Structure 1
């Protein structure tokens, strides 16, 4: 196997990692349905399990995975073992352990750490397992899928004082998903709800940022007054946002581009073309203004 064949890049969301592959590299990747992540090697699959164990807390071995292991990377023994586990409905913990121990990519210590994290997840309340699963989806660059889970979780978590920190965290996470999708009105409502349960600084600031993006600075002042926050905080916040104004404009364009790509993946070509046309027109106009071309 040549050096180019042995090195592949894998990673969730925006961050990638270079992995040296000692096993065969597939010509055709396996696509993990939950996130759309594609794997070309056994090592990439192991790395992904280590990064996002919460995504593997339920049975995940499919006929497609078994076939890919056999045909693409020639991992016949591993494929046979997984087929046996799938046939006997063995829990995901055993499936993960079988994969991680198949080849000497991870140390025994690393494997134990992953299994311990899975065991801890299984001991938690069902709604908390879902929360970690949704968090893993968000971290893996799938906020829209995570949002569907958060939508249910905010009503599934028992509304008791000992759960307020979890409710605050889930409402905040829901707001982050909505903000990433440029649904600022709904995001602001979610961040405000998070503040009601936890009054954490990050939720408060996220709430103010969404209001600022909506042009609702008066509501920021009202929130400061209602919560007995020193008025100086408002001036400091506005100054900070003005310093970041250019960055915010670029970030909003980036969000629009991400949204357009999602629409394309979902097969919504009409909306995708519309968003790309608007973005292209905006960027052309900015270029003309910056270069004084009329």
Structure 2
């Protein structure tokens, strides 16, 4: 979201941040955003009643003056109306290719974006002109967040938080690392205390099982048979399936000795957070 805001700040654009409200409320909010940019008075008394009507207005009228359209948290809109990707696909096929629109769909639900937007079974498959999977910032970027910390302290911070900007912003170099950890991670009211749980609940259908697998890995049970024993899940192929999902979400990685000829089939692989 912050990257898109920085990208669009010096351009004519429409930036709509979705939420989990009803479809009617989402259409009302989107109509209000368009009204703020265009001054079209009818939108105040008669918001768009469907996504097809709203999208057609954007493609037929709005993009002539405002070509950059950003929809943040696109999955939220699809939750209230699962047909939205196919509606967008229909209008895109009619008008998108000949339009000067620069349409950006953004979402923090990685599995949804990969399957429902980019996936081969998605109505939007084959219509993208590019995609960015935002990876964490590198260690060298921490200087911008924590100029007062020494290099060693920044190593500690990076080992705790990784490179996610939203997490890095919760720590302050006006405080010690210990103070930051106590306030933001160990404090039950801290922003980061429940973040792992929220992330898994958003992405996964059986979070309790995934929690037990992650806990096993965190306690040093890094081989498949060790994870099976620690979690009590009697079916190794099932555990393998859960691990594959965690790898897709980039929560877990699998490492294999470099000497293995067929690493994907190797039994010497270990799983790390």
For normalisation by structure 1, the TM-score amounts to 0.23
If asked which structure has higher relative contact order (CA below 8 Å, sep 6+), I would say: 2
> Which has the larger helix fraction?
1
Which TM-score applies when normalising by structure 2?
Answer: 0.24
